[in-house]
Every structure is written in structure tokens, then in C-alpha cells.
Structure 1
Amino acid sequence: MLFISAITFGADYDSIGDSTIVRKRSDLTQKLYDTLLSIKGNGIFFGMQHATGYGVGWQNNNDSCDIEKVTGDYPAFAGWGASVTDCNIAQGEGFEDARYKIKLFHDMGGFNTMEWHADNPFGGNCYWERRHDKTKDVVASILPGGEKHQEFLTQLDNIASFFNSLIDDDGKKIPIIFRPWHEHTGAWFWWGKGNCSKEDYISLWQFTVNYLSDEKGVDNLLYAYSPAKNDSREEYLYGYPGDEYIDVLGQDNYYDLRQDATNMPRFVKMLETLVSIANEKNKPAALTETGAFTIDAKATMPEDNWFTEKLLKLIMYNDKTRQISYAMVWRNGSTSHFHVPYPGHPAVPDFIDFYNHPYTIFMSDMEKYRTKNE
């Protein structure tokens, strides 16, 4: 069964005309969207990037999870990556491993997100400062007519093949919240502000969605838009590709929650702005990336009460900030890079308090939310 979401390019949902193009959502994808909307103001789903596969002091175990080691429970959802530093899905590799991890969370009752730190086709990775050829406008080159367009299509074909292969035991496609081209209001990625024109960035988003949906038949994606930190509605919406291309309005923010941060009020303002825009558009809002950093940007969780006294306190700050549907922290890799406490870390008691708070939703809570829209 397919739920159909009407889309008009260049128009709002409520002004559909002759140019209507339909983007289909599979059954479970629509149910995930409805669940994200229905949870607003009632709780937040908590997730972690690379929740299984590796952690602090262990690796090569797709069933293990540092959060489970600490709480006895899994996060409500997991985030994954499509780039070479992760499963390399964009290059046509790592499908089986990624499918296993995604299906694990789906079968347990949770959901999955996937970002794409796309490599620079002229050499280097996603970071603008590490580019090999400083003369190239990368975004322009991968759009139709550009010299790297066919290479870009090959990667989209690989990504589409992977998403279309995500089938559960009932024969239904597993939904994914897909988050490409994120943090574009910063300048660190080659698709970021100042590294391409606003118009080309919008075209990149629109082409990505149109190609995956219309050309490749991918119908199990919710598309998440997630700028970096910003100070106004106008900054947040810089490069916004249009309501018809976006399903989830997200926000990435580490900086305002770092060690000894003095601008936490800005974090609250960002959440308020995010939720206000999402409510106007009747879309879910989410904190799509965050985590605890030292003052000099090291991911070593320097504050033992970060989860309750920063993250949760600010999410719970007022009726508006509480309306984000989910929040995700980044990965655990080693004792020099981690975003949730591992067994024996002094922040474990605080994280357990965060876990036990009635507003935070982990995997053991998911059955009632998953069946709500069945």
C-alpha cells in the first residue's frame, strides 16, 4: 500500500495546480512521518549515530551498543552514513552490513536515519579545506550539464539501489530519514554557504529528491533539512529547497552545548525558531545532530551532567522547545572520541537519569508509538 503525498514544484501544498508531481511514500514511511508529528510535545525519541557496530573499546559487533551496555536498552533510533568513512554505500559497497544494522533497529521497533558526507569528486573528502582542486565549483559540476554529473548520477544510483533493497520480513520497505547536504549554512563542507551559490544549492537538493523519487522509484525516504547553528529565521531558511522537497526540519548544533558554553540561550532560541517554522509547515522538527565537546572541540564529554543539565534541560525549557520529535548524538569511537558515556565513565549515572526521564523515549518504549498508527 502506498500513501501519496501531493507535491507541486514552485508552490505550497495548498496551491496545487497543473504542474503537480506526486512523490510517493511507502506504507511504513507514512506511518513514521505520522508518528513524528504525533509525538510533538509528548516526548522525544533519542538516537545515536552508529549505535551498533563499534564503540569504546570494542568493534565488529553489529548487535552491540554502548547505550545498551549502560542502560540495558537501545536508543529509539540509529543514524548511519552513506559515505566512504561509513559503509561506502554511495560507491556501491557495504550494503549487506548496513542492511543488517538498519533491519535490526526496524525489527526491534525503532527507526533509522542516514546522512551523506559526500566526497569531493575532484579529490578530497567532504571538507572544503581538504579539496585537491581549489579552482572548481563542485556543486555546479555535479548538476546537469556539469563535468562530474555522470559521476554524481552513479552515486545516486548506488544510494537508490540500497534504499530500494531495504525490505523487512513482511516484504515492506524499511523507512529511512535521509539527510544529505546538511550543515550548509556553515562553510566547512563543499556544498556549504560561500562554496556554492544559493541557487545551485537549492538545485542540488531538488535534483537529488527528484532523481531518487521520480527516476529510481525510491519511496521509503523522509528528507531531513538540517542547517548548522544560526541566529535567525532568515539564516535557517537560507537555501531551503521548498516544502515539497522536505519532510523533517532539523537543526545541527554542537557549539552551543560545548564545555563552559555561555550562549545556551541561543540554543533555546534556535529550537524555538525551528519549531515555529516546522509548525507553520505542519512538519516534524528535530535536533538532528548534537553532542558534548570540550571548549577546544574534543568529543570527550567533559561534563558529567551534560545530558540532564544541558541537553534535556534546554529541550524542556518551554512548551515550544519541547516540541522537537527526536534528538540524536554523534558516535562513540574511542576514549578520545565519544558522545555517550560507556561503562565505567563518570557520566553514566547522569545518563541513566536522562534515560529514566519520562520525556525521553528509548527502544523499550517504542512499541506503543510504533503501533499507534498501525
Structure 2
Amino acid sequence: MSHYKNRIAGACCHLLALLFVFVTCSDGGDEKIPELEKPKLVSSVPADGSENVSTGEQTILLTFDQNIVLASPHEIRLNGNEITKAAAAFKELTVTAALEKATAYTLVIPAGKVKGPTGVSADEITVRFTTRGSANSTINKTLVSPDPSPQAQRVYDFLVESYGEKIISGVMANVAWNTHEAEWVHTHTGKYPALNCFDYVHLYASPANWINYEDIRVAEEWWGNNGLIAAGWHWNVPSGANSNGHGFYAVGKNGGDGETAFDIRQAVIDGTDENSVIKADLEKIAGNLLLLKEKNIPVIWRPLHEASGKWFWWGAGDAASYRTLWILMFETFKTKGLNNLIWVWTSQTDDYDWYPGDDYVDIIGCDIYNKGLTAVSGIYDSLTDEFPDKLITLSEFGNIAGLSDQWDAGIKWSWTMPWYDYNRTVDPSSAAFNEQTHIHADIQYWEKALENDYVITRDQMPSLK
């Protein structure tokens, strides 16, 4: 019997010892039962304290250290206003809201609304950020051309003042040296676009009875009616690839039509045959642009466009050769006294290696075709982030989201310009000219665009003479 009593006594002592440990731990002893971890915010986009955040509809991304769920109602607020679009998935919480420019924002997620997988809730979370100011607040106000003409400076000042507040409407000449697209828009809407862009594509043949860039009456008339003048240059060089022996497409980029094997890498080396060709062409184009300068007509000048796409000969070599060619053109024009130019470089995005440099570029353009709103917004945000001190313009487009949708999404170009529809506007006296369809921007597009008071037409332009 005593043996069993001893065993029972021992068991009781063991139980008392376990009870002592339990009481000691619960009373603040050395060993504590671990607490379950609260979800913690690891990062946010935009980060807390960010500045120059993009405007329009934006998604704020918050990443936590563990999977989360969002309580309902979540009661998340942005500047005191309840958010309607918020969702949690795995470790991420997304909050979508429309952001206004030049605004300080505070996002607040109340305590208890974000829960981890064990049901433990996060503390209150606050993220503060500021959207970019008025679009023109950081823009360089000085033109790159030394001692710019008064007219060029006034045009540029107007572009800067309008940026972010207005969009200047524009059109492209049908092939070369006319205002046919502008007349087509006017015929069907009663309004002229504010900007007309010409193309010196046939410079190699001018002057001729079918093309003569030395006859500048069409440009004088447009400028005389307060219209803005832009110009580009599909630079035709000797090719032998087609009947006229000239082309601007790189070999393999247009099925043989208008292609040239002209080598930009050789063209920028002094003394080569190719170098002689481009220097002669630069002399000729400078002479034509000087005709406009003599009439005090400024030109928004957009040469050597879409280089990084490599479909034109000036981009078919390498970025270094392209930059050298751009600077050669700039310096040649400077020695000629061409101070009436506002220089536009066209980006294909993610092509900074091709950028000639801030000393040679006033405005950044981009050409967009067949893209939806999300893609257009991404391109715009990319360029405004990369070039915060430059005007950003939609220098060509076709079949993209409507201008109103872009504006509402915070996409505010300096100007926009659909490419021409050859068959629609080549002959203003034709039956085709009376039709309202268009391969890039039909009259329905124009009617919707011109309903907005932020779209500038030619009749709304001030005299910048």
C-alpha cells in the first residue's frame, strides 16, 4: 500500500509543478505564450511621402507581410471620402481612385479592417502623397535655338501656358504641302483644327510643277489666320529601289516599295559619299525653312521621327549615329540663322539611348496607333515621368481612345494630330471628300472632341505674330 501512496504522491507533485509553471508563465514569468502577428505594411505604390504622382484614375497598391482579407465594410477613405473600389488578394490590397492634379492626399485604412489569416487585425494604416502640379509648372521655358525669333518664342510660350489646361487640335497634310485634312474637318464640323503639319517628303524633287516647297503661300495663309504650323520630313535619299530612285524606308521594312540601303553610319562620317548626300540635303531643307523665317513664320519642327523603330534609314543603324545626325542638323541650321524652329523629338518609349539631349530638343512627341486607353495612358505616364521638364505631345495617332476618355484619365497632351487618309482628302473636289469616315479619326471623333472647351481650334487661337 505504501508503494502506491508514494506513486500517487509523486504524480501529485508533478501536477503541482506543471500548474506552477503555467501560473508563472501566465503571470509574466520568463516563458510567454507567443502572440499572433498582426499584418504589417511592407510597401506602397505610391510610397508614403511621394510627390509628382500621376493624375487621373490610379490604382494604389499596398503590400503586406502576410496574406490578408479586407473586412466589409472596409471604410477606407481618401481625403475623407470613402473609397468604392478596394480589393484584397494574397498579400496585396489595391485601392482605385481618381486623382486630381496638384493635390495632397491622405489614404486611411482604419484599424481592424485588414486581417491576417489567423484573424488578427492590422493597426490603422496611413499613406500620404502629392500629385504632380499643374502640368506646365516644371516645363523648361527656354527654347534650345539660340536667340529664338519673337514669333517662335510666342508660339512656345503659348504651348507652355496651355499645357495641362488645353489640348491643341491638329491635322497632317495629305502627303505634303496642303491643308486638305483641315478643310475636310471644317467642311463637316464648321471648325478648323488649330495646327497644320506639313511634310517635306518630296524635297528631292522640288521645285517641280507637281511639288514646290518654295511656294509658301499655303503656309502664309494658315499662319495669317492664326493657325500653328508644324513640319516633318520623311527624308528621301537615293535608293534605286523604286522608279524615282529615292526612299526613306530601311531595307526590308516596306516590302521593297520606297526602301533604301542608305547607311546612316557612313553618312555621319566626313568625306563619305553618304555624308555628301546628307550635307547637300541639309543645305536644301535649310533654304526652304529660311523662306518661312523671312516671313516671320515659326515652325514646330519634327524631323527624324520614330528612329528607334528602325523602319526608317535614319534609325536603321545605331543610336549613336542617329544622335550625331540630329546634332549635325541642329548645328547646320544654327549656322544658317534658323531661329524660327521649335524642335520636337519623337520617342517610341523606352528609347532614351536615342534621345539627342536636352540642349537639342524642346518637345517630346510620340506616335500611337491602334491602342486602347490603358496602353495610351501607360505611354503618356512613361514619357511625362522620363521628361518632366518637356512638353509631351501626341505627334501622330490613329484609331486610339477618344480625346474625352484620355482627358478624363489625366492624359493631357500639348497637341494631338491624326495621320491623313490619302483616299479621303487627296482631292477636295471629289465625292470621297464629302464622306465622314476616315482610317484614323472620323468625323464622329472630331465632333466628340470639339464638344470640349479644353480643345483649341483655329478660331480660338490668339495672334502670335
Q: What is the TM-score when the length of structure 2 is the normalising length?
A: 0.59
**What residue is the counterpart of 2:50 in the other structure?**
none
2:396 partner amino acid: E
Write out per-residue CA displacement over residues 128-156 of structure 1, whole angstroms, 9 at most, x where no aligned residue. 1347765x523432543332222212211
Q: Does 1:140 align with 2:266?
A: yes
Write out per-residue CA displacement over residues 202-244 of structure 1, whole angstroms, 9 at most, x where no aligned residue. 1011111011112x1111101100123x3xxxx1423101101
**What residue is the counterpart of 2:461 in the other structure?**
366
Write out per-residue CA displacement over residues 154-185 of structure 1, whole angstroms, 9 at most, x where no aligned residue. 21111111111115xxx752100111110112
Report how far residue 335 of structure 1 moved. Answer: 4.1
Report how far residue 71 of structure 1 moved. Answer: 1.5
Q: Superposition pairs for residues 192-211 of structure 1, below 5 Å? A: 192=315, 195-211=316-332
Q: Does 1:94 align with 2:212?
A: yes
CA contact (8 A) 2:213 2:288 kept: yes
2:358 partner amino acid: D
Report how far residue 26 of structure 1 moved. Answer: 0.6
Of 328, 332, 349 in structure 1, the residue corresponding to residue 421 of structure 2 is: 332
Call closer, same or farther: CA 1:28–1:311 in 2, change over 3 Å: same
**What residue is the counterpart of 2:25 in the other structure?**
none
Write out per-residue CA displacement over residues 303-351 of structure 1, whole angstroms, 9 at most, x where no aligned residue. xxx7xxx2314431433x22x211111123214999xx95442653442
Q: Superposition pairs for residues 310-349 of structure 1, below 5 Å? A: 310-319=401-410, 321-322=411-412, 324-335=413-424, 343-345=434-436, 347-349=442-444
**What residue is the counterpart of 1:4 in the other structure?**
none
1:328 partner amino acid: M
Structure richer in strand, relative to its length: 2
**What residue is the counterpart of 1:301 in the other structure?**
none
Report how far residue 37 of structure 1 moved. Answer: 0.9
CA contact (8 A) 1:29 1:221 kept: yes
**What residue is the counterpart of 2:155 in the other structure?**
32
Call closer, same or farther: CA 1:164–1:142 in 2, change over 3 Å: same
1:222 partner amino acid: I
The root-mean-square deviation of aligned C-alpha atoms, in Å, is 3.1
Report how far residue 189 of structure 1 moved. Answer: 0.8
Structure possessing the higher radius of gyration over alpha carbons: 2
Distance 1:89 1:186 in 2: 31
Distance 1:133 1:330 in 2: 23
Of 45, 49, 70 in structure 1, the residue corresponding to residue 172 of structure 2 is: 49
**What residue is the counterpart of 2:192 in the other structure?**
74
User: Which residues of structure 2 form unaligned runs of 5+?
Assistant: 1-138, 241-245
Q: Does 1:218 align with 2:218?
A: no
CA contact (8 A) 1:139 1:204 kept: no
Q: What is the TM-score when the length of structure 1 is the normalising length?
A: 0.72
Query: Highest relative contact order (Cα 8 Å, sep 6+), 1 or 2?
Result: 1
1:245 partner amino acid: Y
User: Which residues of structure 1 form unaligned runs of 5+?
Assistant: 1-12, 15-20, 57-63, 257-262, 293-305
Q: Does 1:127 align with 2:249?
A: yes
Q: Does 1:268 align with 2:377?
A: yes
Report how far residue 356 of structure 1 moved. Answer: 2.2
**What residue is the counterpart of 1:289 in the other structure?**
396
Q: Does 1:113 align with 2:230?
A: yes
Percent identity of the aligned residues?
A: 23
